[in-house]
Structure 1
Amino acid sequence: MFRSLLAVRQSGQQQRSMLRTSVRMIRTFKQEEQPRLRINSAAPNFTAPSTQGQLNLHEYLGDSWGVFFSHPADFTPVCTTELGAFAKLKPEFEKRNVKLIGLSAEEADKHQTWIKDIEEISSLDKFSFPIIGDSSREVAFLYDMVDEEGFKNLNKGIVATIRSVYVIDPAKKVRLIITYPASVGRNSSEVLRVIDALQKGDSKGVVTPINWQPGEDVIIPPTVSDADAKTKFGEFKTVKPYLRYTKA
């Protein structure tokens, strides 16, 4: 009888100990500890499970550009169409030395089933870039992916605003940040256009005007004098002293 009572008491103690351990393991996200990403911030590195195994962001990107975009959950309608659209454009991104990385705030194993739906809906032969599993929301926190209300729910349920896009250059700098509301689908062609504009600017020392497309005229930065512009670009058209167009 004594042994039975002791066993029950020990079992109860073990359960309470496990409960205390479990409580200690619950992540408390604090706004004052959250990184603030800005244009030209270093892209935070992380290692996380993905549909292609453990993925270290910086190692995966290597000397490539990266487009890193996130989703609040698997089997969500808008996100399903977006992943399919990016997958179809993957060859175009590869021509520009860009790697794609998705993220969804659920387990990586679950993503594998979701991928079958993406392939079916978007008529893909094979979905071929990794989707990170972020069920803990640690990466969502690290990259500041949620709005004010979403932050309050970061530990529970679907957080509808884990819908961000980051363009990362080979130096691991963040060059573009766009966060979309839950109701608005992304424009994959616009992300590709931004890559073209950034790469053109980096290689030629120019900036691009509104709605610029490859092959169109670019703008000479105001910091470049007319004499230097003539030497560097040859002919250019002056609309205003601060607005000069040239071929690139």
Structure 2
Amino acid sequence: MPGLTIGDSIPNLEVETTHGVIKLHDYIDTWTILFSHPRLCDFTPVCTTELGKMAAHAPESAKRGVKLLGLSCDDVSSHIEWVKDIEAYTPGCKVTYPIIADPNRELIKILNMVDPDEKDSSGHNVPSRALHIVGADKRIKLSFSVPSQHWPQHG
């Protein structure tokens, strides 16, 4: 499997997000949960509810000194519109964490968030449902990935 694994340092990439351009090392200054979603998932039912649940738990995570950081292969303008949809389907919650855009699917490879078995109709890699828990030292402490074949087809 390409990319990072437990014990590796997150590279100090500059990424485009719903909160503007950020450098990962500047953002990851405490425990951080970095999570990705399969395929192009903006506006799909499963991903929308999952990101809504992350938003619902964000205040408790913040109290415990944990940041959230999403990643999807759609572009930032799609993510910004999607956030409105997430909040509409998650009453009382605001998406306060950034969502990284990866339309060229480069970050999913670098960050080891690639589905090992599935490709899109053009033969390109697709993201998996993956999660890295990263310490303040920028090192991955826990990592898992669930290939898309084990999840509903709509997100």
Give the TM-score category using the shorter length.
0.7 to 0.9
**C-alpha distance in 2 between matches for 1:108 and 1:176:** 27
1:167 aligns with 2:133: yes
| Max Rg structure | 1
More helix by share: 1
**Runs of 4+ more than 2 Å apart:** 147-150, 152-159, 180-185
Q: State the alpha-carbon separation in 2 of the partners of residues 96 and 178 from structure 1.
A: 22
Preserved contact between residue 164 and residue 180 of structure 1 (Cα < 8 Å):
yes
Aligned residues of 1:137 and 1:154 also touching (Cα < 8 A): no
Residues 86-142 of structure 1: per-residue CA shift (max 9 Å, x gap): 111011111111110001101011101111110011113422110011001111010
**Paired residue secondary structure (2:113):** coil
What TM-score, normalized by structure 2, do the two folds share? 0.85
- Residues 36-75 of structure 1 correspond to what in structure 2 (within 5 A)? 37-62=4-29, 64-71=30-37, 72-73=39-40, 74-75=42-43
More strand by share: 2
Structure 1: segments with no counterpart, 5+ residues: 1-30, 186-248
CA contact (8 A) 1:137 1:155 kept: no
Q: 1:126 aligns with which of 94, 103, 123?
A: 94
In 2, are the aligned partners of 1:90 and 1:100 still within 8 Å (CA)? yes
% identical equivalent positions: 38
Partner of 1:110: 78
Q: CA 1:125–1:42 in 2, change beyond 3 Å: closer, same or farther?
A: closer
- TM-score under structure 1 length normalisation: 0.55
Q: 1:40 to 1:157 in 2, by over 3 A?
A: closer
Counterpart of 1:194 in structure 2 is none
Kindly indicate whether structure 1 or structure 2 has the higher relative contact order, using CA contacts under 8 Å at least 6 residues apart: 2
